[in-house]
A and B are shown apart, each in its own frame.
Chain A
Amino acid sequence: MTTSDLTHVELRRGTYYDSVTLMQVSQRVARADGVAAAQVAMATELNVEVLRGMGFPVPDEAAPNDLVIAVRAESAAGSAGIEAGLAAVDEALTATRSTTSGGAGGFGSAPPPRTVGAAVRTGAASIAVISVPGQHAVTETYDAIAAGVSVMLFSDNVSVADEIALKDAAAAADVLVMGPDCGTAMVGGVALGFANVVRGGGIGLVAASGTGAQQVMCLLDVAGLGVSHCLGVGGRDLKAAVGGRSTRQALTALAADPDTSHVLVVSKPPDEAVLTAMRAYAGELGLDVAWAILGEGRDDLTTSVEGFLRGLGHEVPSWPSAVAPDPAPDLPRGGSLRGLFCGGTLADEAMFLAAAELGAIRSNIAHENDLLLGPALTDAGHLVIDFGDDGMTQGRAHPMIDPSLRMERIAAEALDPTCGVLLLDLVLGYGSHPDPAEDLAHAIASAQATAREAGRSLPVVVSLTGTDGDPQNATRTMSKLHAAGASVFVSNRDATRHALSSLRSHS
């Protein structure tokens, strides 16, 4: 432990909290009276770097399984600030324990399960939801498979080789691995991970894309159609290496499901041979399958859903939107598109649509190497950034939970004269931030004000994936963002098109 007058750094061994919980704890401690800065985090390499960057002397012996508590007092408060901070740490940590663990104590009560297999057996579970850090996810997933349940594997940073081996083990046990990096699934009307509250119905989804599936489900909901199940398969399932291993199992299961009348497969750009094989397999099952597949020369998701609706003889509705006027019509604008996304598929789709009109778009998830952004993620040209990509989430929570990185970037774009339009996504539903509109509306309004002060107009477009059944309510969220100055669209295609038209109207 090191304590100077104003700075306190302490390691605690043998205690572990997930990154989301610790983020909440840190925020609570930072708000305590007399505390200037505070960070409570597991001592991962990344976190130690962040802490040292904040000026906290983290001892070299800190290991990834240690908890670091770092508190800096305001100079006026002195040691009282540190004491207040540490009291807030203990209070916040105690509060998390009492809600998360099944309640220890009492006369010889059973300790809570410590492995996912034990949790499955204790609760007679039918499914395991695994979101431990990636390097530990393989072990937990094998354990769940051995316990005889399907797995929703939210964790990312799992290798392709491990993914293949896990999926083979799962198939042998007749269970499904949904993932890795699977953000969204719905089984029997229950949302797993990030998912929107949509009406029940006969459409079964197989999704090699999390936010893509959410977008499709929300559009179907607007159209009045309901979903039976949405089986996630992980974003790489239809790539050549994985070969559609989980998709095959998911199609088989949906074919046998009496509640499912039609199947829609949603995927990021797949391998052509795998896609052909999956089409053939669906044919063997006698299954009526529609495909909402992103990629060069293919339809976007909204257009695919429209085609699907027409194929069913169902009316195509007008997708909800709220268009805002130009925030500063008299002022000039920058010429570049800046897409800042939390949803990978939404980012991908925006990129495909924009590239058709704008040409080269640089991105951290670009499909061509020469368009890949460097680690600084900056460029004067058109950019689309996926803040939820593996490379951005090591050691921190997904931006749909912790939006701070993107918030910082929105503020930075407001100051960038090359930024001509901001295209943002906002995904509602279970798992997402409980009230994201408030902070985002504030960020949008202040970005536009900053740009105006700098003598620029900065139109902001939001792609809003959500339903009115969601805890955050899509209509209310839309009004709030619209009132702040943004144009809002439930269709990501329409949002992207609107952003492009903003650029055009300027040039």
Chain B
Amino acid sequence: MTTPLRGLLDRDVVAATAGVGLFAEALRDQAVPVTETEWAPPMAGTEADLATVMADRRRVEANALAFARMTAAEAKLVDVRPAAQALSLERGTFLHAGPPLEWARASGPMRGALIGAVLLEGLADTPEQAEEQLAAGHYTLEPCHHRDAVGPMAGVVSPSMWMYELRDDVHDNTSWCSLNEGLGKVLRYGAYGPEVIDRLHWMTRVLGPLLQQSVRASGPFDIKSIIAQMLQMGDEGHNRNRAGSLMLLRELLPGLITADAPSADIAEVVRFSGANEHFFLNLGMPACKLATLAAHNIPGCTIVTTMARNGTDFGIRVSGAGEEWFVGPANTPEGLFLGSFGPEDANPDIGDSAITETGGIGGFAMAAAPAIVKFVGGDVPFALEATQRMYGITEGEHTAYTVPILEFRGTPTGIDVTKVVRTGILPQINTGMAGAVAGVGQVGAGLVTPPVQCFPAALASLARRAEL
């Protein structure tokens, strides 16, 4: 027999309070255990929308379902193919990071990357000509996310670029991401000089096909399992990917060594991949994309399924609000700078890589990667605190991704719009910083948050769609 009110009258009172402090004191005076909420009013003007969305009768179950799907989603690397095949990307169409963007509003690094991609495709002979064509609207620009793909930093994808292809058989989803070019002057940071284009050609001619041979020979590779392991080895999966990159190389090596290719090419692929600390980023991102894709489009669900930046705007999408983007001007990250670069050299936030935080790693798993503070700034207590703060705005704790120093607590997963608006706590994102001028490349790395207005806007849309 079940007692009514979940046994309220049978058990010792243990209280949680929100509001006037003296009620908590009165309970403590009676030796009742009390947990006080450090309550503050929600973001200004959101009271009515909050009350409506909280009352949506689908919300609780929808969010639980979204969380269950996010954490159950698989991520298997099944193939490596050119974007023309994998995404049916037409010649003349270029994918980019973040929410939709037109050339006129594109930032320096985004313009640089698009110029480079036009050159790579052989559509123009000079950067100037490429820029003219882009400005004249000769080409179609489209967010990677609209094709279930993700791209770091500028995230520019053109038809001849090779893509990792990842599968989630549980939810029958596929996602894609380009191959990582390494650090320094690279296309994703807006560089388009000859050495950048030469490297991209080599990646198309040598790296892509060899990775394909390896994956087809000894894959599929379980990327989700690598993420779970790398978090226990000091990576957070966004700005620190060292362990993940080495584990990925370990998976790829047998297939590379036995590939049908000149040994000099194989050696160069191994050297290139092994030297790149962020080699794994382009697999962690589509893995997180698969997780959030599984949670997307659940009616009544208030969980964020996309956070992405195009260097001008920051945009989010929410499971229960369909394909609508909620955007605001991208913030400029704060952090540490390479060489003689300084804050004035940095471009506003850019890249689809915030999909890692959306999926419960990256800045949300910062406590697992205390060494990251030497790269992005802050100190170790901050790293520990950042992850714990994110529990306040997420639906649950990841079942596969855990943080040893927090007693193997699961990473905070599933950003809930209502919790962000109620607490004013913004998602913590670890990120690289691109130079503001096209062609400069990376200038640093640091910490950033979304612009605050994305969340009340998403909440208002959820309120319009609410079923009471």
Contact = CB atoms under 8 A, between A and B. Distances in A.
A253 B8 contact: yes
B341 interface: no
A63 B47 CA distance: 14
Contact of B19 (A64, A120, A154, A471): A154
A131 B23 contact: yes
A102 to B, nearest CB: 7
B437 to A, nearest CB: 34
A253 B5 contact: yes
B8 A18 contact: no
A51 B170 CA distance: 61
Contact of A131 (B17, B32, B383, B392): B17
Nearest to B390: A111
B51 interface: yes
Interface stretch (A143-151, A206-214, A491-499): A143-151
Contacts of A139: 42, 47, 50-51, 54, 418, 422
A123 B27 contact: no
Given A114-B38, A127-B14, A139-B51, A190 B20 contact: no
A187 B16 CA distance: 14
A18 B32 CA distance: 22
Nearest to B39: A132
Nearest to A190: B13
A255 to B, nearest CB: 8
Interface in B404-427: 418-419, 422-425
Interface string A100-140: 11100011111111111011101111111111110110111
Contacts of A130: 17-19
Contacts of B21: 18, 20-21, 96, 99-100
A174 B5 contact: yes
Interface string B1-33: 001111011111111111111111011011011
Nearest to B2: A174
A393 to B, nearest CB: 12
Contacts of A109: 385
Contacts of A193: 23, 26
B23 A188 contact: no
B36 interface: yes
A249 interface: yes
A169 interface: yes
A65 interface: yes
Nearest to B42: A136
A451 interface: no
Contacts of A106: 381
Contact of A65 (B39, B41, B55, B389): B41
Interface residues of A, number: 81
A363 B314 CA distance: 55
A365 to B, nearest CB: 23
A418 interface: no
Contacts of B22: 20, 401, 431
Given A118-B37, A119-B18, A142 B392 contact: no
B221 interface: no
Contacts of B392: 111, 113-115, 118
Contacts, number: 234
Given A148-B6, A430-B30, A122 B35 contact: yes
A50 interface: no
A136 B41 contact: yes
A223 interface: no
A486 interface: no
A49 interface: no
A154 B9 contact: no
B34 A123 contact: yes
Given A64-B41, A142-B55, A154-B23, A174 B15 contact: no
Interface centre among A21, A116, A133 (most CB of B within 10 A): A116
Given A108-B388, A116-B16, A123-B33, A176 B8 contact: yes
B60 interface: yes
B4 A431 contact: no
A126 B419 CA distance: 22
3 smallest A-B Cβ distances: which pairs? A108-B384, A123-B35, A131-B19
26 contacts: A16-B41, A19-B20, A96-B21, A99-B21, A101-B38, A114-B38, A114-B40, A116-B37, A120-B16, A123-B35, A124-B14, A126-B13, A129-B17, A129-B19, A129-B23, A129-B27, A130-B17, A132-B18, A162-B55, A165-B468, A187-B9, A190-B27, A190-B30, A228-B9, A257-B10, A471-B29
Interface of B: 3-6, 8-24, 26-27, 29-30, 32-42, 44, 47, 50-51, 54-55, 57, 59-60, 367, 380-381, 383-385, 388-389, 391-392, 418-419, 422-425, 468
Given A115-B419, A126-B11, A129-B16, 18 more contacts: A64-B41, A65-B44, A100-B21, A113-B38, A113-B392, A114-B422, A119-B35, A123-B14, A123-B16, A129-B15, A129-B27, A187-B9, A188-B9, A191-B26, A253-B4, A256-B3, A259-B9, A431-B23
